[in-house]
Amino acid sequence: MSDLIVIGFADPKTAFDLRARLMELQKEYLIDMEDAVVVTREPGDKVKLHQAMNLTAAGAASGSFWGLLIGFLFLNPLLGVAVGAGSGALAGALSDIGVNDKFMKELGQTLPEGGAAVFVLTRKVTGDKVLEKLEDFRGKGKVLQTSLGHDSEEALRAFIEAKPELKQEIASAAAAS
C-alpha cells in the first residue's frame, strides 16, 4: 500500500532540494517512491506541476524504438519511427501515473503566491534513516496532508515543522524524563 505525503514550503528552491534529496535516498534504497512532484504557485494564481519524469518524452522514446523495430519488419523503418514516436508521445501525454494531477492543482491553489509543495507517493520507507538524512529540512516546511498512520504523521510533523527553540525544549524534556 502506498502513502501520500505533502509538505509545503515558502519557496520553490527548498521544495526542489527536498525532491532531489529524496531521489538520492531512493538510489540508496532507503525509500521507494512511486511519484515525487513539486507544485509551485506562481504570480497570477498560476499553479505549475513539475513532474520528476516527462511521460510524453518517455512515451515518444519508447514508441520510436518499437516503431523502428516494426518498421524494419515491414521494410520502412523511418515511417515506423515516426508513427511509433507519435503514438508513444500521445500515450505518454494521456497517461497519469502516481498522484492525481487535478488533486495537486487544487491543493496548489491553497499555497501562498511564490510557495511550493512536494507531493511524494511512497511504497516503502525506512523512516528513522530517511529523517536522519533530511536533517537539513528540519523546521523549514509544513506538513499539509498525509495518509500515514497517526503516530507516523505526528513524528513527521514534529520533524518538519520543528522550530530551533522547540528542538532545545524537546531535548530538555527528554533528558528530564
What is the tens place of the pLDDT at every residue in 12-60? 999 999 999 999 999 999 999 888 999 999 988 899 998 875 444 444 4
Return the half-sphere exposure (C-beta side, CA atoms, 13 A cut-off) of residue 160. 23
Cell numbers standing for residue 103: 488533486
Are 71 and 130 found together in one domain?
no
Q: Is 129 helix (H, G, I), strand (E, B) or coil?
A: helix
How much is the pTM? 0.69
Task: Count structural domains, the chain.
Answer: 2
- How far is Cα 18 from Cα 107, in angstroms, rounded to an integer? 19
Are 86 and 109 found together in one domain?
no
Host domain of residue 62: 57-94
Are 37 and 115 found together in one domain?
yes
Are 40 and 61 found together in one domain?
no
Q: Is 39 helix (H, G, I), strand (E, B) or coil?
A: strand
Are 34 and 119 found together in one domain?
yes
Are 139 and 81 found together in one domain?
no
Give the per-residue pLDDT at 58: 46
Are 64 and 145 found together in one domain?
no
pLDDT top residue among 145 and 176: 145
Q: At what angle do helices 77-94 and 55-73 cross, to 10 degrees?
A: 150
Give the per-residue pLDDT at 70: 63
